[in-house]
Structure 1
Amino acid sequence: MHLKKHRKVMFTLTILYTVFILYFLFFAFGRAGKADQISEYTFMFLPDGFFRLPDLSDLLHPTVMDLVGFGNVAAFIPFGILIPLLYRMSFVRFMTLFILSILVLETIQAFTLLGSFDINDVIQNSTGAAIGFGAYKLGFRTKNDLRNIAVTVLSGIVLMIGVWGVFGVLDQVFTKEMGPFVAIHEWEDGTGVPITGTELAPLKIGGEEVQPQYNVYRSEGKNKETLTYKLGNKKELYLYFNYGIPDHLESQGSIKVTVDGQEMLSASAEAGRHEQGMGSILIEQGNELTITIEGDEALWDVGYREMLYSWE
């Protein structure tokens, strides 16, 4: 049975599948019931992790987002096969019409409050359609229907894996990850010098002995100690530190962290209160970091981890 002789069957199948997809786009997952609870239109124009390559743990324990991303691609592969079978057209024309259609549907989703406009969905849906078109071109080359279907399915699987891998690698390349911990006294162009020799003396805070690993900073008899560091070209880094008043001291103390004069954190301890604190601050950008230590407050294991691309 040659597929060309059954255009009506394919047309009916395409219509039914289109209705099925439209149902999921607009009404599945309780979208209609949630529309009354949404008061704002949602438009997301920047792609973010749209086709991440999963590792073994992801495959064994897939998350909802993994399944949604995979489904957004796989569900639109049939359109890349059915539409060219019904209407012969070039790849460029097919993809142009398909992308325009998806943009319209995403916009309708946003304005009807039955979903959001998400550029990730546009990329994923269009990728699925492109895979389907490639599978159609590779599969339907003979008059043997069974062979054509088998080759198309196999080609679709191979193309899916290939595109998944390429997109996953690109996603990893253009996704920042947290770099190694760097002690702050190793930071160039800084005034902070830790009050340590070759060994870091332990601190006793709240009845517990604390062993610093990298550095210790204190005012050492002065009312105030100020550490300054030039951020330079560093952007999007996390500053980590521990603080507290040693048990053998009864005075109060405080620490303050500012970036370009803007206060990022302030912590103080009353006299006689000995508790260990931990802090972390995200510094997205700035020129100068300042850490001010007052009273008997001790600051130790101060360092940062910078968000970096894989090539940095």
Structure 2
Amino acid sequence: MDLKQQRKIIFAITIFYTLFILYFLFFAFGRVGKVDQITEYTFIFLPDDFFRLPGLSDLLHPTLMDFVGFGNVAAFIPFGILIPLLYRTSFIRFMIVFILSILVLETIQALTFLGSFDMNDVIQNSTGAAIGFGAYKLGFRTKNYWRNITAAGIFSLVLMLGVWGIFGGVDQAFTKVMGPFVAINDLRDSTGNPSTGTKTASFEMGGQEVEPQYNVYSIEGKSKGTYTYTLGNKKEVYLFLNYGIPDHKDSRGSIRVTADGHEFLTISVEAGRHEPDMSSIYLPQANELAITIEGNVTLWDVGYQEMVYSWN
């Protein structure tokens, strides 16, 4: 097969593959049937998950979004191989033209209600094209056409795995996770004194014995009590608390949690209800924390977990 015939075949493959991708971009997944249900344009300019490729645990229990993210990269690798085979071009020029083309397609998707403009897709598609171009440069080094195709395929897989690993590492570095549990009695109160609530005696609730691990809060002999703490302007905090009325107490009670003067939780516990319960509260930012107890409600194992980066 001479070079002219090879070029014709490559050109035909490129056209058919482009039409195949365009079909998935504009018509697959029932997009046409959903047009009448969409009334607003969707433009997502800030990427939020372009590092998100399936991890090993995701492969064991894959979801649709895992395949979408992986496919957005893998489906555009062939363009990085086919286009340089047809036209002599540098990597920079190829990527500029490719990214502009994807931006146009994403805009058309949004304006026709056949999809959305999503910067995550632009980054993933461009990553796939860059992998393909790298595989072309590494694979097409001999005069044997089929050997070059095989080599390019192998390099595509190797580069894909390499990018997968890099993206996974960056994703882990910039993804926040819950930090260790901190019992609230480990803090000092708003006056700087050691906190109260360190009593950990067991009690019965709902016919079962409750054995607190960290702290117990109640207001024996009083109608109302408030515990205040200084968190130190922590951001993205989840506060956890267990609560209920012990079996030997019958009156009702309530709990109120505020942070920096803003109320985040109010719970009323009815008389005669003795089942233990638990609540979690998300605090975007908190410095002064106040927990107010009324009646015979008992709280225990109150604490928080802060969202932190794994390298912290």
Q: Same fold (TM over 0.5)?
A: yes
Matches of 1:208 and 1:85 in 2, distance apart? 74
| Deviation of the 1:10 alpha carbon | 1.8
SS of residue paired to 2:242: strand
Please report how far the alpha carbon of residue 241 of structure 1 lies from its aligned counterpart in structure 2 after TM superposition: 0.5
CA separation in 2, counterparts of 1:79 and 1:277? 56
Would you say 1:118 and 2:122 are equivalent positions? no
Q: What RMSD over aligned residues (CA atoms) do the two structures have, in Å?
A: 1.7
Indicate the SS of the match to 1:106.
helix
Shift of 1:2: 4.8
Q: Measure the CA separation in 2 of the matches of 1:4 and 1:140.
A: 17
Post-superposition Cα deviations, 1:90-119, rounded to whole Å, max 9, x if no partner, equal: 111111111111111111111211111111
Alignment of 1:41-60 (within 5 A): 41-52=41-52, 54-60=54-60
Measure, in 2, the Cα distance between the counterparts of 1:221 and 1:3: 95
| Structure 1 counterpart of 2:20 | 20
In structure 2, the residue matched to 1:210 is 210
Aligned to 1:164: 164
Q: Distance in 1 between matches of 2:6 and 2:18?
A: 18
Question: What is the TM-score when the length of structure 1 is the normalising length?
Answer: 0.93
Moved more, 291-300 or 269-278: 269-278
Q: What is the CA-CA distance between 1:3 and the residue it aligns to?
A: 4.5
Aligned residue number for residue 254 of structure 2: 254
Comparing 225-234 with 259-268, greater Cα deviation is found at 225-234
Q: Which residue in the other structure is 2:99 paired with?
A: 99
1-side partners of 2:42 and 2:51: how far apart? 21
For 1:81-96, what aligned pairs fall within 5 Å after superposition?
81-96=81-96
Letter in 2 for 1:250: D
How far does the alpha carbon of each residue in 1:106-144 deviate from its partner, in whole angstroms, 9 at most, with x for none?
111112111111111111100000000001111112221
Q: Distance in 2 between matches of 1:229 and 1:85?
A: 67
Number of residue pairs the alignment of both structures matches: 309
The alignment partner of 2:234 has SS state of coil
Q: 1:87 to 1:254 in 2, by over 3 A?
A: same
Question: Do the aligned partners of 1:195 and 1:218 also contact (CA within 8 Å) in 2?
Answer: no
Per the normalisation by structure 2, the TM-score is 0.93
Between the aligned partners of 2:211 and 2:2, the Cα distance in structure 1 is 78
In 1, distance between residues paired with 2:101 and 2:75?
15
Which whole-Å CA distance do the structure 2 matches of 1:77 and 1:260 have between them? 52
Distance 1:80 1:217 in 2: 64
Instruction: State the Cα distance separating 1:284 from its structure 2 match.
Output: 1.1
Report the residue type matching 2:31 in the other structure.
R
Report the CA distance between 1:188 and its aligned residue.
4.6
Asked if 1:235 corresponds to 2:235, the answer is yes
Q: Deviations over 1:38-69 (max 9, x none)?
A: 22222222223324354433223322111111
**Which piece of structure 1 moves more, 133-142 or 17-26?**
133-142
Q: Secondary structure at the match of 1:136?
A: helix
| Aligned position for 1:151 | 151
1:30 deviation in Å?
0.5
Q: What do residues 19-44 of structure 1 show as CA deviations (whole Å, max 9, x unaligned)?
A: 11000001001011112112222222
State the alpha-carbon separation in 1 of the partners of residues 299 and 94 from structure 2.
Answer: 63
Tell me by how many angstroms 1:287 deviates: 2.8
Match of residue 71 from structure 2: 71
State the match for 2:265 in structure 1.
265
Aligned counterparts of 1:169 and 1:5: Cα–Cα separation in 2: 44
Distance 1:27 1:62 in 2: 24
Superposed CA deviations along residues 195-239 of structure 1, whole A, max 9, x for unmatched, are: 51xxx2112122222111110011122222212222324111111
Residue in 2 aligned with 1:194?
Answer: 197
Give the partner amino acid of 2:42: T
Q: Is contact 2:260-2:288 (8 Å) kept?
A: yes
For structure 1, list consecutive stretches of 5 or more residues without a partner in the other structure.
none
Equivalent position SS for 1:110 = helix
